[in-house]
């Protein structure tokens, strides 16, 4: 199953045609996807399950209906096992950004983390997962697919937010402060950090 977040509400893409209440299940090939996204965005609809015999095929079908923006980001830790956060638009977030032309997604993730935080000596430990959320640009909905990597660094220098990207703070946060930050974060970031119980162990490879 995949989750496509619209604001903090997920649209489910699954192989289950009988998702439990309160979800409304619709065969994805019969769904008016852009209309559904608009309703979720406006708060008129909250629980939607778009199903197909294969959840991967459901995702591929969904991608054909919207322009997809590929991005890379990092869950970065230091020797104290603190996590690197950025603060933007009154929300705590993780550093990430859009891939440039002919750039590998691993390089995107490393570049964006360094640009947004000025942290140096970054190393990718392993791939974590992908998250999906909907953006609205110039009145058009787009799908953002973010590849997340577990990263580490021994950097102990100052942190500088990338102000021209609307970032106003960069902070290392321990486990307690991380949970507090997640109370003012995005649903996909909360899910990424809270559900990856084995965050610091290799789990996945990019597919």
Q: What tokens appear for 115 in the block?
A: 């640009």
In a domain, 202, yes or no: no
Residue 136 forms part of a structural domain: yes
Q: Which of 55-59, 76-80, 195-199 is the least confident region? A: 195-199
The reply to whether 205 falls in a domain is no
Q: What is the pLDDT of residues 3-52, one digit of tens each?
A: 999 999 999 999 999 888 889 999 999 999 999 999 999 999 989 999 99
199 — pLDDT class (breaks 50, 70, 90)? low
171 and 81 both lie in a single domain: yes
- Alpha carbon distance 49, 27 (integer Å): 8
Contacting residues for 121 by C-beta, under 8 A, at least 6 apart: 153, 154, 155
Has residue 76 been placed in a domain? yes
Domain assignment present for residue 129? The answer is yes
Residue 205 has pLDDT above 90, yes or no: no
170 & 155 share domain? yes
Tell me phi and psi for residue 25, to 5 degrees. Answer: -100, 130
Judge whether 203 lies within some domain: no
Residue 206 placed within a domain: no
Residues 88 and 189 in one domain: yes
Confidence of residue 207 (pLDDT cuts 50, 70, 90): very low
Say yes or no: 59 and 79 in one domain.
Answer: no
69-88: pLDDT as tens digits: 999 999 999 999 999 999 99
- When pLDDT is averaged across residues 106-123 and rounded to a whole number, the result is 98
pLDDT digit string (tens) for 182-196? 999 999 999 999 876
Q: Is residue 95 part of a domain?
A: yes
Closest CA to 51 of 6, 1, 13: 13
Both 87 and 32 in one domain: the answer is no
Q: Which of 65, 84, 101 is the last residue of a domain?
A: 65
- Would you state the pLDDT for residue 123? 97
Domain around 180: 70-195
- Given 14, 38, 65, the domain boundary residue is 65
CATH number of the domain that residue 93 is part of: 3.90.79.10
**pLDDT digits 0-9 by tens, 159-181:** 999 999 999 999 999 999 999 99
pLDDT given at position 80 = 94
Indicate the number of domains in the chain.
2
Choose between 201 and 105: higher pLDDT.
105
Residue 42, helix vs strand vs coil? helix
């Amino acid at each position: 199953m995949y989750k496509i977040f619209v604001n903090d509400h997920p649209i489910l893409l699954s192989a289950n045609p009988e998702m439990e209440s309160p979800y409304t299940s619709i065969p994805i090939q019969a769904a008016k996807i852009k209309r559904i996204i608009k309703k979720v965005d406006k708060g008129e609809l909250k629980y939607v399950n778009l199903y197909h015999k294969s959840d991967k095929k459901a995702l591929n079908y969904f991608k054909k209906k919207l322009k997809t923006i590929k991005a890379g980001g990092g869950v970065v830790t230091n020797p104290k096992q603190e996590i690197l956060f950025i603060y933007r638009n009154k929300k705590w977030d993780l550093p990430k950004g859009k891939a440039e032309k002919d750039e590998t997604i691993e390089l995107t993730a490393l570049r964006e983390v360094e640009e947004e935080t000025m942290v140096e000596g970054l190393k990718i430990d392993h791939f974590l997962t992908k998250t999906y959320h909907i953006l609205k640009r110039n009145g058009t909905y787009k799908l953002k697919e973010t590849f997340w990597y577990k990263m580490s660094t021994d950097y102990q220098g100052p942190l500088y937010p990338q102000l021209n990207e609307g970032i106003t703070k960069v902070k290392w946060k321990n486990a307690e402060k991380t949970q507090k930050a997640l109370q003012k974060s995005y649903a996909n970031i909360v899910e990424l950090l809270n559900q990856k119980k084995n965050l610091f162990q290799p789990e996945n490879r990019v597919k």
